[in-house]
Chains A and B, each alone.
Chain A
Amino acid sequence: MGKGRWALRGVVMAYLGILIGLPVVFMIYKALAHGFGPFWSQITQPGAISALKLSVEIAAIAVPVNTLVGVGAAILIARHKFFGKRAFDTVFDIPVAVSPVILGVALILAYSRIGWFGAPLLRHGIMVLFSPLGLVLATMAVSLPYVLRSIVPVLLEVGTEQEDAARTLGAGRFRTFFNVTLPSIRWAVAYGVALTIARTLGEFGAVLVVSGNISGRTQTLPIYIYDDWDQRFDTLGSYSGALVLALISMAVLLVLAMLRKRERRLRVDLA
């Protein structure tokens, strides 16, 4: 028994070490191998800064939109009966179930010059391919379900009794939503938003396909890292950019862990 436990522990640690631990450690080491100065000058290059700016701008549109859509759809799914609910629910998972590359191709075939709506859109001067608009669409698609998926189970678990109680006490629909429903799902919303942010900042495949990769115009941070490695053969630049993104995702992870603890505490309260 004791021996078996140690063996299992050893196998698991070795696997995670080889797959995750060592690579992350070496990546950090390589980014900082020449000291902090070179790392800093890499990530403050104009190209890197403008890529970071574009990534943040895209997130600033995609995250609020997907948060609103996620909250609205979650309430529809958890609190209303309507025809086609299963299908409605499933559509949200399609963008994460298929390859981001496929999603990019799909967006192009719908909205670019060669796509279904290309001609009418172009006539109005709207360009989707090779433009920031395409990046926003692609990013919104890949980060679609996270808020919804975080909220629905909580809404179902909390049940409708608090909302009913508010109603019998005379509260209207908006007051019930803002004073009763929203507070009970706020940590779930925060959890979903954190996931959405992580996904938006990191999206690569779909964005790469629709972007056309125009430096300074359609280059997000992940694409910039890719270019540093693949086109400019600047591995230090890649390591540095990757470290920045890795730090952001680790921060998100930390936030998520804290939110999960809150959630768990709330669940215990309920019991």
Chain B
Amino acid sequence: MSISLNNLSKRYGSTHAVENVSAEITHGSLTAILGPSGSGKSTLLKLISGLEAPDEGRVIIDGDDVTDVDPRHRDIGFCFQSYAPFRHMNVAKNVGFGLKVRKRPAAEIDARVKELLALVKLDDKASRYPSQLSGGERQRMALARALAIEPRVLLLDEPFGALDAVVRQELRQWVKVLHEQIHVTTVLVTHDQQEAMEVADQLIVMSAGRVVQSGNPLALYESPATDFVHEFLGPSTVFGGVVTRPHDLELVSVYDGAMKGRITSIVSLGFEAQVTVELSDGTTTWVQLSRNELSKMGLRVALLVGVRRRTDADF
């Protein structure tokens, strides 16, 4: 089901949380709303879900104008940042809640819950309580609960924010696979560009309540519309007055470079190295090198080098 957001605005007091946002989310896509904290991305998700009402603009899901529809009638699945498990219900009751509200027969609920718990690999934890689950398991239970009502749209608010690095990586892959299996239109909110690039097939980048750029992740990375998107979507540095990716720069002998400079620090991060150079025009930039390049060139602090844009920048 597609979602259209038309000129949405939401103010809290005098602050504009969301300002004149329009976006199209295509049917079956996995879209990430990406932005730093306070950019209005969570508010936008709440506007789609109906948990907040916009001051202006319309929300259209699958051709229906749902702007004035209560969240309980929108048929959306919402996963909260804290997962919001019903603490006093076990896993099966949590997952079956939406169906029970819809007064489905008990046998149907049981069957559907079983099916969903198998899908999220919690079949052996059906009678556990949320407090007895790990963070990742709670997250999967919240997903199953949201999916149980066969939502038209699945909304995930910072779905991996509260998990540790390993579980996070696992769940990202799993969500991607799950999305390919069930193909429900999914919107997730994140502040982590790596996560967004890895999981989503569409990106909406937000800053200060506005959409800065949207589209395919690779396209955004390659041709960011503004310096903000450039800096936000990956490592960046300034060279010759232009924002650029540090892996698009290279170090050469002091005579070959477009600009001369002195190395002020070298930080080795395993596979890659970050070399900071103070340039002759007084500015500082940094260059991303592979470990091989670093050792081959015999770089050290205080060495004079030349810096230039890579000619083979297209990988």
Contacts and interface: CB of A to CB of B under 8 A. Distances in A.
A270 B134 CA distance: 12
B60 to A, nearest CB: 18
Given A161-B84, A184-B87, A184-B88, A168 B78 contact: yes
Given A164-B78, A164-B80, A165-B80, A170 B86 contact: no
Interface string A175-200: 10001100110000000000000000
Interface stretch (B69-77, B169-177, B213-221, B255-263): B69-77
Contacts of A162: 84-87
B97 A169 contact: yes
Contacts of B148: 169
Interface string B54-81: 0000000000000000111110111010
Contacts of A167: 51, 70-72
Nearest to A173: B72
Interface string A227-271: 000000000000000000000000000000000000000100110
B149 A164 contact: no
B102 A170 contact: yes
A166 B51 contact: no
Given A167-B51, A167-B71, A170-B73, A180 B101 contact: no
What is the interface of chain A mostly: helix, strand, loop, or mixed?
A: helix
Interface in B10-67: 49-51
3 interchain residue pairs of minimum CB distance: A169-B98, A269-B131, A161-B84
A170 B72 contact: yes
A137 interface: no
A270 B82 CA distance: 10
Counting chain A CB atoms within 10 Å of each CB, the highest count among B72, B76, B82, B146 belongs to: B72
Interface size of A as a range: 20 to 34
Nearest to A163: B84
A170 B78 contact: no
A164 B51 contact: yes
B86 A168 contact: no
B230 to A, nearest CB: 35
B145 interface: yes
Given A165-B86, A183-B88, A269-B87, A171 B78 contact: no
B88 A170 contact: no
Contacts of B130: 269
A167 to B, nearest CB: 5
A183 B146 CA distance: 21
A178 to B, nearest CB: 12
Nearest to B74: A168
Nearest to A265: B131
Contacts of A168: 49-51, 71-72, 74, 76-78, 146
A220 B169 CA distance: 67
A40 B74 CA distance: 66
Counting chain B CB atoms within 10 Å of each CB, the highest count among A161, A171, A266 belongs to: A161
B101 A169 contact: yes
Contact of A161 (B72, B80, B146): B80
A164 B70 CA distance: 11
Nearest to B132: A269
A19 to B, nearest CB: 40
A175 B103 CA distance: 12
A180 B145 CA distance: 15
A270 B84 CA distance: 10
B87 A169 contact: no
17 contacts: A159-B82, A162-B86, A164-B51, A164-B71, A165-B84, A166-B97, A166-B101, A167-B70, A168-B49, A168-B71, A168-B78, A169-B146, A169-B149, A171-B97, A171-B101, A180-B86, A269-B130
A189 to B, nearest CB: 13
Counting chain B CB atoms within 10 Å of each CB, the highest count among A167, A171, A172, A266 belongs to: A167
A269 B133 CA distance: 10
